[in-house]
Structure 1
Amino acid sequence: MASAIFQVQADEFLSKALSWSKGFDQLCLFESNGFQSPYAQVERMLAVGAQAVFTPKAGESTFEQLAHFKSRYPDSWMPGFLSYDLKNELEELQTQHPNRIGFPDAYFFVPRILIQFEKNQVNISSEIEDPAAVYQQIISHHPLSPSYTFKGQVKARMSQAEYFKAFYGIKNHIQLGDIYEANLCQEFYDDEAFIDHPEALFLRLNSLSPTPFACLFKIEDAYILSASPERFLAKRGTTLISQPIKGTSARGKDEQEDARLKELLLNNPKEIAENVMIVDLVRNDMTRSAVPGTVRVTEKLGLYTFKHVHQLISTISCEKDPALSDCQVIQNTFPAGSMTGAPKISAMQLCDQYENSRRGVYSGAIGYFAPTGDFDFNVVIRTILYNRSKQYLSFHTGGAITMDAEAEKEYAECMTKASAILSALGQSL
């Protein structure tokens, strides 16, 4: 593979690269927004075009098919996504709602061109193209226009009354002892949507809500614009890492209020209970892929601050069972427990019963396999899905229902989460 390093002004070069990339059917941009962690590996990376593409065949295990595809390209970066609905392959589950957005259940590609950013330099690599020629093509482009137009009207698929009915239905199951917690989600959508420059909308969303696992993913006319703060599962060497988020508080208007809200979050029994239950679920999931005795909680209830919220994040790690493939490891923990509830299978059954839309890519995972053998996948939350051909735009919000949850507060939290995305669209409900 040919590669070359060039000195650039990073943000300006990215803008030109996104403008240049419009001529390709595949694109994936990973953006860490400068967040530092001991597990961080990619600062900013842009994969463009495809040498090879993976989409699953019906009637066969997606994870087995993906493992076979991955084995053919062991020395390549491979970005892609996994839909939440793959749960139906893994367990005796069904999803009754239609796939209105029209995205596949999984999609991975081997990039034609890979651009890795590190501070003010880029490494351009390709097995097909001359890196110097690619660099010249990019710098000759005009920067991506920061303006975009959204035409349409976003609607809630679930009314407040319907949400309350679903909430109390799930809470009744908690009171009966069927489950301890469920993550009830609802869809906001527009079936006559038009966005002229989805790439510019992603940059706007990313500026409003910079997060460590932000991602722009394009397949022809289908776009994923994600501002996810949550890591689903990563592998670093022989170590597996999961970092579920449960527990959220708004930021304060000044330092004193910010400090008070942090303290309230750290001592909130409901938020702590949500986090602890999901930590136990993730620990259980990871034992299926671990060397016996190596699963441990390396950080419990860590307080992390983002632009608009404080969140409680726990870290669970283990040593990977060397007999298992990477795809088997992901399968054993998929989907992310923070988006299901506990016990996991019962919670997913009830979510399917009480929700009125298919989650699709939402609650799934976007990430990459690296040529080093490492991988990293986020949890798809705070994410816009847009299919230009179908004129369909969709995003979901949700929250954990526990014994102590209150319907009015949980509904208000869903609306607050929706408002951030609606702000980027220039809309309100």
Structure 2
Amino acid sequence: MPVPQVFITSDLDTFKVKALLWANTFKDVCYFDSNHHDDPYSVFDIFIAAGASEKLTLAAGNAFKQLEDFLKDHTGYIPGYLSYDLKNELESLESNNPDKLNFPDLYFFIPENTILIKGDEVQIHGTNPEGTWEIISNYMIPIPTVSRPVNISSRFTRTEYEQTVTEIKGHIQRGDIYEINFCQEFYSDDAEIDPLNTFLRLNKISPTPFSSYLKLDQHYIISATPERFLSRKGQKLISQPIKGTSARNSDVQKDEEQKKNLQADEKELAENVMIVDLVRNDLTKSAKPGTVKVEELFGLYSFKQVHQLISTVVCERKEGLSNTQIIANTFPMGSMTGAPKISAMILAEHYERSKRGVYSGAVGYFGPNGDFDFNVIIRTLLYNNENKYLSFHTGGAITFDSDPALEYDESLLKAEAIIEVLRE
């Protein structure tokens, strides 16, 4: 295989935009941006894959097995996504809610070109790294075109949402579940957007450590997610569930109060503990006995729109398990289901009004050395350019102590950055 070449950039933020503009000329694109967040488990600041020499697009059924075979046959960086509805091949579950996005349930591709950026070093792998460097360096950043605002509708009114939360609390009181992640869809049936410009605006408004842009021909994932689902680094597995959200405040003193209130909120702490316990249980299936531990509990992390409570659960990988098996053992992520996991997913399917699809799945990559890293697809726009259907979900953890009105307000808070982008 051709040896990658390393170049030095003196202006990372400009170069990455130019590189993404260049990559977007291909039908298959995957872009990850850490947005300068310090993360001990990331191996690069920016990853770009452009063009597909081969790809795997599947519906749920035997997708994990076919993915395992695909990974055995290929090396290098292999980006792609796993949709939430792959749950149906892991458990006796169904997804019968309406779906107008029509994404494949699983998609991975072998890139023709990859660009890895760490600090000021740009590593380009492809048939002509020097030519790619020259093209990107000389790329002219166009003036963004003005898009008409997108009219957004919701599957629930406030009253309907609050009534549904009350019904779900009835299941908790009866002992059917302890916690559930209940989601609602915001959508537009006739949206005309420039997906790349929309991503660039979203990434500016809400720069998060796992921001991603994925293009599969006419399907787009435009994401400002702050959450890591699962990563492997050597023999170590890492999961970082988020539970606990508070709005930012422009007043510094009030913002500090928001942080303290979040750290002292018994409901938010209880949500986090429940999901940490679920993640610990999931990781046990892939761990050497006795190695599962909570590396950080209730870590407070601040982003541009919100403060979040993030916990870190780790373990040592059990010998003999493939990466596909490790992911299947924990999929879907507990932060997007609830506990007990299967009961929560059954109730979510019953009460939600649209198919989740890619939402609450995972975008990420498999690396050449056996490592992998996948995020959680939240705070994410999904767009089908063929039928002009645009969608994004927001959700929240419903527990015994949930206030239906506050849960609705939290779902709107999580949608703020996306709504702001679409109204520009």
Fold match, TM over 0.5? yes
CA-to-partner distance for each residue in 1:343-379, whole Å, 9 max, x for gaps? 0000000000000000111000000001011100000
| Residue 420 (structure 1) aligned with residue 422 (structure 2) | no
The one-letter code matched in structure 2 to 1:67 is E
Any idea what the Cα deviations from partners look like across 1:189-208, whole Å, max 9, x if unmatched?
Answer: 0111111x211111110111
Once the two structures are TM-superposed, the CA of residue 254 in structure 1 deviates from its matched residue by 2.5
**Cα distance 1:306–1:419, how it changes in 2: closer, same or farther (>3 A)?**
closer
Does the CA contact (< 8 Å) of 2:300 and 2:307 recur in 1? yes
Gaps of at least 5 residues in structure 2 are none
> So what's the TM-score if we normalise by structure 2?
0.97
Give the equivalent residue in structure 2 for 1:401.
398
Alignment deviations for residues 233-277 of structure 1 (CA, whole Å, 9 cap, x no partner): 000000100000001111233332222111111111000000000
Q: Take 2:188 and 2:60, find their aligned partners in 1: how far apart are those partners?
A: 28
Question: Do residues 92 (structure 1) and 92 (structure 2) align?
Answer: yes
Matched, 1:326 2:323: yes
Find 1:163's aligned residue among 153, 161, 164.
161
Offset at residue 147 of structure 1 (A): 4.3
Distance 2:72 2:185 in 1: 36
1:210 and 2:211 are equivalent in the alignment: no
Structure 1, unpaired ranges of 5+: none
Q: Are the structure 2 counterparts of residues 150 and 318 from structure 1 closer, same or farther at C-alpha, using a change threshold of 3 Å?
A: farther
Give the match for residue 178 of structure 1. Answer: 176
Report the Cα offset of residue 49 of structure 1: 0.3
TM-score (norm 1): 0.95
Aligned length: 422
Contact 1:244 1:278 in 2 (8 A): yes
Q: 1:295 matched to which residue of 2?
A: 292
Cα shift at 1:148: 4.7
- Going from structure 1 to structure 2, the CA distance change for 1:17 and 1:37 (only over 3 Å counts) comes to closer
Which of residues 36, 39, 49 in structure 2 aligns to 1:37?
39
Letter in 2 for 1:84: Y
Percent of pairs with identical residues: 52
Encode CA deviations 1:160-188: one digit per residue, 9 max, x unaligned.
23212321221100000000001110000
Whole-Å Cα distance in 2 between the matches of residues 150 and 413 of structure 1? 27
Q: Following superposition of structure 1 onto structure 2, how do residues 306-385 of structure 1 map, counting pairs within 5 Å?
A: 306-385=303-382
Matched, 1:2 2:3: yes
Distance 1:150 1:346 in 2: 42
Q: Which residue of 1 aligns with 2:220?
A: 223
Does the 8 Å CA contact 2:59/2:104 hold for their aligned counterparts?
Answer: no
1:148/1:198 contact within 8 Å kept? no
For residues 102-140 of structure 1, the C-alpha deviation after alignment (integer angstroms, 9 at most, x for no partner) is 1000100111001111233311111xx211111222233
The one of 260, 264, 268 aligned to 2:257: 260
1:264-322, Cα deviation, whole Å (9 max, x unpaired): 11111000000000000000001011111111111111111111211111111001111
Q: Which whole-Å CA distance do the structure 2 matches of 1:421 and 1:57 have between them? A: 28
- Could you tell me how far 1:58 is from its partner in structure 2? 6.0
Counterpart-to-counterpart distance in 2, 1:148 and 1:378: 31
Mark the CA change 1:58 to 1:384 in structure 2 (over 3 Å): closer, same or farther: closer
Amino acid at match of 2:202: L
| Mapped contact 2:84–2:356 kept (Cα < 8 A) | yes
Structure 1 distance, partners of 2:206, 2:142, is: 20
